[in-house]
Structures are given as C-alpha cells and as structure tokens.
Amino acid sequence: MFQEGMSTNAIAKRLTEQGIPTPSGKTKWMRQTIESILQNEKYKGSALLQKKYTVDFLQKKMKRNEGEVPQYYVEHSHPAIILPEEWEKVQLELTRRRNSCRNTYCNSPFSAKLICGDCGAFFGSKVWHSNSKYRRTIWQCNAKFKGTEKCHTPHFYEDDLKSYFVVALSRLLANRESLIEDGRLVRQELLDFTAIDTECKQLMEETDVVSGLVRKCVDENATQSIDQAEYISRYNSLVERYEKLQSRYESLQKKRDEQTLEADEIAGCLFALGELDLLEIQFRDDLWNTTIDHVTVYADEHLVFHFKTGHEITVQM
C-alpha cells in the first residue's frame, strides 16, 4: 500500500477499518506504528543489535542507543518475510517523501500532489456546509490567504478533479503503444548504470590505496622518530582525501538508488496504463497514485497533470 502511494496515516486508517489488530493487540492503528514497521529491518531478515542498552542493571533501566555503545548490523540473521529489494525501495520512498516536504498525513490521494501555480504551496481540502445535505469537499491553495497578496488560483470540487484526471488520462492514452514504448526506453536509460559502476569501482580502488597510505603513515609515526607537525599535516591530508572519496562514492550510490526508484515508478505506471480498458476509464485511487506525480493548478483555470512517465497533459477547468 505504501509503494502504491498511500500515506502512513491512510494505511493506519485502512487497517483499523479492517479490524486487524496492532502488534500490541490494540484495535486502533497509529501512523507512528506504520512508520516503525516500514523501517524495521527484521522483516527483510536482518537485525540491528543494541538499539537500546541497559544503564542501570539493578533497576533494569534501558536507554535508546544514540552512539554511547557500539551497534552491530547482522544480515541474514533469520528468514525474511519480504524481499530485501522491496524493503530497500520502501526506505528510498520514505526518504523521498520526507525530503519533498510534502504533508503525507492526509487520507486523501490528492494530498501533497496538487501544487499552486502562483506560490508553489500545496492545495488542501476544505469542507463546505459540513452539517447539511449540501456538504461538499473543495480543494484550494493552503497559502491562499496567508500572504500580503492572495493567490489567484481557483478552488475546485473533488469530483471535478477526478473528472479532469480521467480527461487527462484519456488524452495521454491516445497513442498508448508509442507511449509505453517511450516509457520503456526512458526506464532502460535510467537503469543503465555503466558510468556510475565504472566510477564507483575506480573510487573503491583509490580508497583502498589511500587507506593503505593512512595505515602506513600511522605505523611510521609509531615506529620512527618523526616531526609531529609534519606527521599531523600528512595524516590530515590523507584523511581528507579518503573522506572526499567516500563522499563521492556515497553520492553515486544515492544517485543509483534514486534512478532505480524512478525506474520502478515508471514500470508501475506503464503496467497500469497497459492494463486499462480504454472504453471504460474511471477514477480509482490506486490508478491516480500509480500514474500521477503531481498536478499544477494555474490562475487562468487550467491544470497541468504531470505523469510519472514524464508526460504532461493540460486540461482546462
């Protein structure tokens, strides 16, 4: 559910409605519990030891380990119940959502996906006539009345947004075969890690060399009479070089992971588009989450739907 785009709050609500008990046997799920489960390495067959440690053996007081004592990460410590690759993808998606500064606590699939073309803020839902039969849910810019000059982007009803989505999706699928083929080519390009892997290999080789030079520097200082100012200068220079190599390697691995996640999102989008019945396209939460990256709303009352394939479709309100 999380990989399909549901927020942790929405997942908690779904599990509560289905009557599934929490790990502690309670009937109501909380967002924090879902986040804890998503980040728990035990589900992929690994274990991080000493997350907590005992500070008072007599009173058996425990404290969260914040670097006071060593931690040990053990892979394949027990049988996994999900694929390690799937767990890693979830961690990447968790990081992506946190870094996007999007509010993912709302239960609506539209949360954090509607962007104001005037100020860049997200749209939020508001309920009109909540205590009457005329109750309607509208979406408008969250910062519409916060600045000195209010945004001029319009509000719209939720049902209308669903209709606009169907229109945009229908236009996108006008040439479905070509669309899917283009998407596959983009995905192949994203998954071509030849340049990244080559540089990573070179970085690892250079890192091993520098690591050896650091050890040699330390050994020489321990066994020979060396000017300490010169030793410290040489040692710091080698360490700085080592850290730069490590930083570059980590940035390349991060880029690799991000491209993998983007390629997976495109694959999911292409699969969903390929399975659609073109004669009966209807709005579904899962279809929206799988295909839409975000929608930009403009003051002249047109919407630009940004699909995960990289395509953009404009719809007039």
Mean pLDDT lowest among 59-63, 69-73, 112-116, 291-295: 59-63
Model confidence at 152: pLDDT above 70: yes
Q: What average pLDDT is seen over the chain?
A: 86
Cα dihedral sign for 98, 102, 104, 109?
negative
Residue 120 region, left (φ>0) first, then alpha (ψ -120 to 50), else beta?
A: left
Residue-wise pLDDT for 22-50, tens only, equals 988 889 999 889 999 998 888 888 887 77
Distance in angstroms (rounded) separating the CA atoms of residues 262 and 268: 10
Among positive and negative, which fits the CA dihedral 285, 186, 112, 299?
negative
Per-residue pLDDT of 163-199, as tens digits, reads 999 999 999 998 889 999 999 999 999 999 999 999 9
Q: What are phi and psi of 230, to 5 degrees?
A: -65, -40
In the chain, domain spans: 1-51+62-107, 189-259
**Cut 0.75: pTM above it:** no
1-51+62-107: CATH topology: Hect, E3 ligase catalytic domain fold (3.90.1750)
- The string of pLDDT tens digits covering residues 284-317 is 888 898 899 999 999 999 999 999 988 999 999 8
Under DSSP, the state recorded for 71 is -
104, pLDDT greater than 60: no
Percent of the chain with pLDDT over 90: 39
Contact present, 295 and 115 (Cβ < 8 Å): yes
Residue 307 confidence (pLDDT): 94
Higher pLDDT among residues 68 and 141, named by residue: 141
Asked whether the predicted pLDDT for residue 59 surpasses 70, the reply is no
End-to-end CA distance of the chain: 31
Residues 6+ away with beta carbon under 8 Å from 314: 302, 303, 304, 305
Q: What is the pLDDT of residues 245-294, one digit of tens each?
A: 999 999 999 899 888 888 888 888 898 888 888 778 899 888 898 899 99
Closest CA to 75 of 42, 53, 50: 42
Distance separating alpha carbons of residues 2 and 97, to the nearest angstrom? 11
Contact 157, 145 (CB under 8 A): no
What is residue 56's predicted lDDT score, i.e. its pLDDT?
65
Q: What Å distances lie between residue 304 and 114, 202, 298, CA to CA?
A: 10, 43, 8
